[in-house]
């Protein structure tokens, strides 16, 4: 049997461990407050190879232009070959030649792997991956047909797995890279007429948290690969046909502004960023409230989408 002294030592060791944990928590809280007041310095993206899915229009196109203007080599992926080539052409008209366009259906696993190999051979190893491609339907659950459910899930969620499978290994090998994924404000809280869209964005959040933590664990905290998840409010890209906003200042953006904020978040190594910034802390605090209180707040805000059906 263990002696009393051994048991006392174990208890004291645990108490010291808990006290150290509390000190670390307090330190990181202070660090976070400090970073709100004084943001991290932006890192350079000059010379990086940035691959953007859904680059043919909207946020994706503005991201491609933004990164190109900052000196990165930009790789545009989109299922629409014509609009994707237009993005490349618009960038080249600015006098920038380090831009490439590939037609790719990110929902097609084999096509993602095939085009990814082509990118590696023709451009090089991707160092910044921006999983931007996404679609949405504003319908009541019973009016969604099975094909819509499958298509949305394939593009909004499964495509992230295929691009990660394609590009993450080289990042791990070099211990260098950055993954950016677009979730949504409704990836933090469910909304009417978003029974397919909201879960896909919730899942993106979960995927990014899990893969980031997995790499941290497997590398014993030595992984230098960064992860940034973005949670935008309403973006005027045309996906939402009938927006419902009682207070427009709560979040309504044009694609160019959103792209600028995403690039800023990536360059500052933010792990999570909501647009507007205040939604993420509000959601975290709100989770402490009773469910009925949360519903009262949602009724007051009275924002979302009107159904298309």
Q: Active-site residue numbers?
A: 197
Nearest Cα to 57, choosing from 200, 236, 183, 184? 236
Q: What tokens appear for 80 in the block?
A: 């629409």
Q: Contact 60/86 with Cβ under 8 angstroms?
A: no
- The greatest distance separating any two alpha carbons of the chain, rounded to the nearest whole angstrom, comes to 80
CA 271/CA 227 separation, integer angstroms: 6
What separation, in Å, do the N-terminal and C-terminal C-alpha atoms of the chain show? Answer: 71
Task: Kindly report the three-state secondary structure assignment for every residue of 285-298.
Answer: HHCCCCHHHHHHHH
Question: Number of H helices and number of E strands within the chain?
Answer: 10, 11
Which residue do the tokens 């979960």 mark? 206
């Amino acid at each position: 049997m263990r002696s009393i002294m051994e048991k006392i030592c174990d208890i004291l060791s645990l108490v010291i461990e808990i006290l150290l944990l509390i000190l670390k928590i307090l330190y990181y809280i202070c660090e976070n407050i400090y970073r709100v007041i004084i943001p991290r310095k932006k890192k350079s993206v000059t010379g990086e190879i940035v691959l953007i899915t859904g680059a043919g229009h909207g946020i994706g196109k503005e991201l491609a232009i933004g990164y190109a203007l900052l000196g990165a080599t930009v790789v545009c992926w989109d299922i629409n070959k014509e609009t994707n080539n237009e993005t490349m052409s618009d960038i080249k008209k600015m006098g920038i030649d380090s831009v490439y366009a590939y037609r790719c259906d990110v929902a097609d696993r084999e096509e993602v792997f095939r085009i990814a190999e082509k990118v590696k051979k023709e451009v090089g190893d991707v160092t910044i991956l921006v999983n931007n491609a996404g679609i949405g339907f504003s319908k009541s659950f019973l009016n969604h047909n099975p094909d819509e459910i499958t298509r949305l899930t394939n593009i909004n969620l499964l495509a992230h797995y295929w691009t990660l499978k394609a590009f993450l290994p080289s990042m791990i090998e070099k211990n260098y890279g950055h993954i950016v994924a677009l979730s949504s404000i409704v990836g933090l809280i469910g909304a009417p007429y978003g029974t397919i869209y909201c879960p896909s964005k919730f899942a993106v959040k979960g995927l990014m948290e899990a893969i980031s933590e997995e790499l941290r664990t497997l590398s014993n905290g030595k992984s230098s690969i960064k992860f940034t998840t973005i949670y935008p409010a309403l973006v005027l890209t045309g996906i939402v046909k009938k927006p419902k906003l009682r207070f427009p200042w709560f979040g309504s953006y044009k694609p160019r502004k959103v792209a600028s904020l995403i690039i800023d978040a990536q360059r500052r190594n933010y792990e999570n960023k909501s647009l507007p910034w205040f939604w993420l802390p509000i959601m975290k605090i709100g989770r402490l409230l009773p469910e009925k209180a949360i519903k009262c707040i949602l009724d007051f805000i009275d924002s979302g989408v009107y159904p298309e059906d």
